[in-house]
Amino acid sequence: MNAIKYIATRALFISAGVVFYTQSAWALLPIQHWREPSGAQVWLVESPAIPMVDVQIDFDAGSRRDPANQAGLASAVATMASKGVRAGRGAAALDENALGEAWADLGAQFEVGAGKDALSYSLRSLTEPDLLDKAVLLAARQMAEPAWPQDVWERERARWTAALREADTRPGTVASQAFAAAVYGNHPYGQRATEDTLARIQLADMQQFHTRHVDACRARVHIVGAVERAQARLLVAALLARLPASDPCQALPAVPEVAPLVAAMEKDIPFASAQAQVLVGQPGFKRSDPDFLALLVGNHILGGGGFVSRLTEEVREKRGLSYSVYSGFAPGLHAGAFTIALQTRPDQAAQALQVAREVLDRYVAEGPTEEELRAAKDNLVGGFALRIDSNRKLLSNVVNIATNGLPLDYLDGWTKRVEALTVADIRAAMARKLQPARMVTVVLGAQP
């Protein structure tokens, strides 16, 4: 077995079993932040316990940047980023199969994805120089020099279109689409790729989108692992070396905010289904909102805490109207939706909806009890260690801090801030954000 193969085999074993050792130890790991000469911003947590590094590079190129008539463009760019790299700087071209084999030979992982707010490139590698240098070079090529093969895009678009057609036969998909359209209106958060929008996406559109957004000056680089700051700076420089570096870095156009609802909206959708779908909600809040923790705890009590939530108690346990009912917020750079969701028998949809509304109305008006708040705090604080018990989870938290402009010591004070919340804090935060009289209600498949 050659050296690289041996190292790669070790990487598989290490990555499968890496966990943080204690909550207190991780709370002591500081987050460093600086800006590189290229304009790239870097957040680093030095975690020397294991010889591994996790990196996530984000660009403001998520689906909120999709043109309305080309919804799915950011996701198309992410898909094609793994379908090969072109030749350049003395390196041979790699098709999608050769690219996959190259990553497998290194025992490293590289993934690309597009969310609402960012296009993300994620690298995981051992820090042994022979392996890391090769992984960084391959990642740099994949970010900067995608091959954009026409035949592969036509194949992927056909697969995507078929998947959309199949999804449109599912009651949950139809209900969710109607709900998102009503809650978000014309905001990009409510856009969804369709057969028509995919047909309008050509390789030239992807190339232009990539060129405009994937620039070193726009990069947000998040690193957790066994590297010191000096090593991290070299790592960042190598990862971004093949990207354009605009100077000055031109600001991207502002994306409008989600408009609040001005009146209640109700949509009854006929659909032949064994279960009726019920969705109730409204635009919620940004992730950077100072009420975030109060709303997190408040929603845990309302419907986010599984079998111990109020909605579960009233809808499922007392009345048997639904096997599962939950509520949740989806905050991002813009106000994400607040949603109450349940499935029930078609003949029980009206009753289940009424009970869910009554629970929401009472909770927003009165807030939780002291007992409910104590139980929620115990659950959330007791489970905090599970939020940061691996490099990847800590990386996710670092990304959250960076994206939303949170303090670098945000994790250190998390449990204290949760413990300090009062019933009055929860009630006031929920009342500020939720307007039960002005919500969207979608009921699909109910019996008349």
| 27-36, 40-49, 109-118, 124-133: the lowest-pLDDT one | 27-36
Q: Is 83 exposed, middle or buried (0-12, 13-18, 19+ CB in 10 A)?
A: buried
Q: Is the pLDDT of residue 211 over 60?
A: yes
Q: What is the 8-class DSSP label of residue 368?
A: -
pLDDT tens for 123-150 read 999 999 999 999 999 999 999 999 999 9
Q: Give residue 98's pLDDT.
A: 98
Give the closest residue to 415 by CA, choosing from 293, 330, 300, 304: 293
Give the closest residue to 93 by CA, choosing from 148, 154, 130: 148
pLDDT tens for 403-447 read 999 999 999 999 999 999 999 999 999 999 999 999 999 999 999
Collapsing DSSP states into helix, strand and coil, what is residue 105?
helix
- Which band of pLDDT confidence, cut at 50, 70 and 90, is reported for residue 7? low
| 10-19, 194-203, 239-248, 343-352: the lowest-pLDDT one | 10-19
- Between strands 325-329 and 32-35, the pairing is unpaired
Partner residues linked to 265 by β-bridges: 440
265-444 and 3-88+97-240 share a CATH fold = yes
Q: Give residue 25's pLDDT.
A: 43
Q: Is the pLDDT of residue 178 over 60?
A: yes
Give the closest residue to 150 by CA, choosing from 69, 109, 102, 204: 204
pLDDT tens for 368-377 read 999 999 999 9
Residue 38 CB coordination number (10 Å): 21
Q: Report how far residue 327's alpha carbon sits from residue 335's, in angstroms, rounded to the nearest whole number.
A: 16
Give me the amino acid identity at 90: G
Q: Is the pLDDT of residue 349 over 90?
A: yes
Q: Give residue 448's pLDDT.
A: 80
Q: Report how far residue 45's alpha carbon sits from residue 52's, in angstroms, rounded to the nearest whole number.
A: 12
Query: Domain boundaries in the chain?
Result: 3-88+97-240, 265-444
Average pLDDT over residues 338-364: 98
Q: Is the pLDDT of residue 22 over 60?
A: no
- Which band of pLDDT confidence, cut at 50, 70 and 90, is reported for residue 88? confident
Q: Report how far residue 36's alpha carbon sits from residue 13's, in angstroms, rounded to the nearest whole number.
A: 34
Q: Give residue 10's pLDDT.
A: 53
Q: Report how far residue 8's alpha carbon sits from residue 126's, in angstroms, rounded to the nearest whole number.
A: 8
What is the topology classification, in CATH, of domain 3-88+97-240?
Answer: Cytochrome Bc1 Complex; Chain A, domain 1 (3.30.830)
Q: Report how far residue 284's alpha carbon sits from residue 305's, in angstroms, rounded to the nearest whole number.
A: 18
Q: Give residue 12's pLDDT.
A: 47
Q: Is the pLDDT of residue 110 over 70?
A: yes
Q: Give residue 29's pLDDT.
A: 83
Q: Are 220 and 404 in contact (CB under 8 A)?
A: no
Q: Give residue 26's pLDDT.
A: 43
Q: Report how far residue 67's alpha carbon sits from residue 6's, in angstroms, rounded to the nearest whole number.
A: 46
Collapsing DSSP states into helix, strand and coil, what is residue 86?
coil
Which whole-number Å values give the CA distances from 158 to 78, 116, 185, 201, in the listed order?
A: 16, 23, 28, 12
Q: Give residue 4's pLDDT.
A: 52
Structure tokens at 347: 């003949």
Average pLDDT over residues 94-119: 97
Q: Report how far residue 326's alpha carbon sits from residue 314's, in angstroms, rounded to the nearest whole number.
A: 11
Q: What is the 8-class DSSP label of residue 231?
A: H
Domain at 265-444: CATH architecture: 2-Layer Sandwich (3.30)
